[in-house]
Structures are given as C-alpha cells and as structure tokens.
Amino acid sequence: MINRRHIRLKVMQSVYAMQQSHTSDLLKEEKFLKFSIQKMYDLYVLNLQLLVEVQKYAAKKIELSKKKILATKEDLNPNIKFIENRLLAQIRDSVSLEGYLELNKLNNWDIEEEYVKIIWEELNSSKLYKDYMNSSEDSYHEDRIFVVNFFKEIIAPNEKLADYFEDTMISWVDDIPFVNTWIVKTLNKQKKENPFVLGQLYKDDQDKRFVSDLFNKVMLNHHKYEEDIKEKTPNWEADRIADIDMILIKMAITEFLHFSSIPSRVSINEYIELAKDYSTSKSGYFINGVLDKIAKDYTESNKMVKIGRGLL
C-alpha cells in the first residue's frame, strides 16, 4: 500500500506542476494527482501479472516442444516444476487480480508480449532458474522464495521493462522503486492456505483523505508562509531558494499548522528525506535548519498546536 512518504512525493510533484504551469485549477490538478496514484496501483498489478504471463509463456514452449517431429525424451517428459509453482498458481487464480485486470482493461502483456519473452529468456538462462529446477526440494516455501527472487533479480532490474513502464506513464519513474518493494512484501507474506488477494492502495480512509487535504491546504495557504520563511532565511532571496526546497518547506509548514496529529519532528524528517532524493545535495541541511526554527517559533507562540500522537 502507498505510505505517507510516497503520498507527500505525489503531492510535491502536483504542487510543482501547478506552479510551473501557472494554473489555478485546483480541481483539475487534484483529479490528476489522484489519477497518478491510482495508476501506480496499475503498475503494481501489471508486475504481478507479468510473473504469471512468464509462467504461461513457458508452458506454451513446453507444449510446442512436445509437438516437434523429432521431439527428444526431454521434450516429451519436461521438467514442469516452474509450471506448477504453487505461489504463481495462487496469483494466476486470484479473483481480485483477474477482476482488476478486466475492470481496468489492463491487457498490456497481450499487446506487448515481447517483454514477456524477454523476461522468460533471461530467467531461463539464469542460475536462479537452473538451481530451482534441479532442486530436489518440493515445497510451498521453496516456491515462494524462488518467485520472490525471480522478481527481485530478473524483473525489477530489467532496463527494457523499466523503459517500457516509463514510456507508458511518466510518473511511474518515481513509483517503480516503491512498487517493487511493495510487490516483494506482498509475495513474502503470502501463505499456502490463503487465496492471493491484491493489497490495498491506501492503508485506510484517513490516508486517502490525506492526499486531498495536504494538496489543497498547501495550494490555498502557501503564500501566507512566505513571510515566515523569509524571516528564517535572512541571507537568501526567495528566488535563490530552489523551487523544490521552497515547496517542501511550505508543505511541512502546512503540516505544522493544519495536521495536529502529525508530530512536527515527523514532518521535518519526512521532508528532509524527500529533499535528499529530489533536490540539491545541501537541501536536507537547509530545510532542516529552516523548519526547526519555524517549528520552535510556532510552538512558543501557540500557533502550532499538536494533539494526541502529535505531542510526541
């Protein structure tokens, strides 16, 4: 499921896009923000489906080999351990996966079968696959470990597949690392006795509301924060502060003032981490210093009031 840090990243991207385009259509941008998050779920589903499609492709290869005129003994009696992998069977038979694919018309691997072939050929020639196929162990535990490593070692790092995803949806560039981690967690926690069910996009309704609330509150109030930021950066003109740094500072201030249950230190740490990944090498230190001063001022003036968990 999407976590708060990735939600903040998505909001940051939408705020930046709005400011760069000089548009004031909040409703339109909020709609695109939610669309971008929903499309991230498509990426999650497509990767899971790819595992199954590679297995289906392998099964087709076996059936074609059996029909060869000069079929060998190996062709006629193939090793079907991969074809009978228990975890892949659970994913293949998943009602929630099939329903989502049909509802959202995600037929990417029917149209782009070449990527299924690319992944299969890489898997088939790998030591991972050979060791699995030659292993005498036959258990759900071994099947699950193999599928997890299949994804981590073959699918996740494949550059051609990454290029395809980037061409399909530009926002997936930033989503891929998060989705890859999400898939590994999903596979690792799957149990032999349970049917495979897709993970939820949001942890709960509160996280779902957080998307809209944070975005709208930042956009409606960000001009009010500029004087406070100016006071804490006397040696900096506003246009000298990196655009992303300014957005991250304003987002943190929004959390200080409008999200009473989020501790100020949590907000500061989250935006420092985003700055490290998406701004300059010194942005983390800069943002930490500015936000720490602002948080202290807001606390002393009772402008920032935290309740419950937010007191910690």
Between 66 and 170, residue with greater pLDDT? 170
**pLDDT tens-digit profile of 137-180?**
999 999 999 999 999 999 999 999 999 999 999 999 999 999 99
The average confidence (pLDDT) of the chain is: 93
Q: For the chain, what percent of residues have pLDDT higher than 90?
A: 82
Q: Give the per-residue pLDDT at 234.
A: 76
Please report the pLDDT score of residue 72 as a whole number.
75
d(CA 268, CA 291): 7
Over the stretch 188-213, which tens digit does the pLDDT of each residue have?
999 999 999 999 999 999 999 999 99
CA distances from 84 to 59, 78, 172, 224 (A): 10, 12, 32, 61
pTM of the model: 0.89
Q: Which of 28-32, 234-238, 285-289 has the lowest mean pLDDT?
A: 234-238
pLDDT of residue 256: 97
Which helix (H) or strand (E) segment holds residue 15: the answer is helix 4-21
Q: Write down the residue that tokens 């499609």 correspond to.
A: 53
3-state SS assignment for residue 107:
coil
C-beta neighbour count of 170 within 10 angstroms: 10
What is the model's pLDDT at position 63? 81
* Spatial distance between the Cα atoms of 150 and 123, rounded to a whole number of angstroms: 7
Q: How many helices (H) and strands (E) does the chain have?
A: 16, 0
Q: Specify whether the CB–CB gap between 260 and 310 falls below 8 A.
A: yes
**Which tens digits make up the pLDDT trace of 223-271?**
999 999 989 887 766 566 889 999 999 999 999 999 999 999 999 999 9
Note the pLDDT of residue 161: 97
77: three-class secondary structure by DSSP: coil
**pLDDT at residue number 177:** 94
- Name the pLDDT band for 10 (thresholds 50, 70, 90): very high
Q: Where do the domains of the chain lie, and which CATH numbers do they carry?
A: 4-189 (no CATH), 217-301 (1.10.940.10)
pLDDT tens digit sequence for 72-93: 777 667 789 999 999 999 999 9
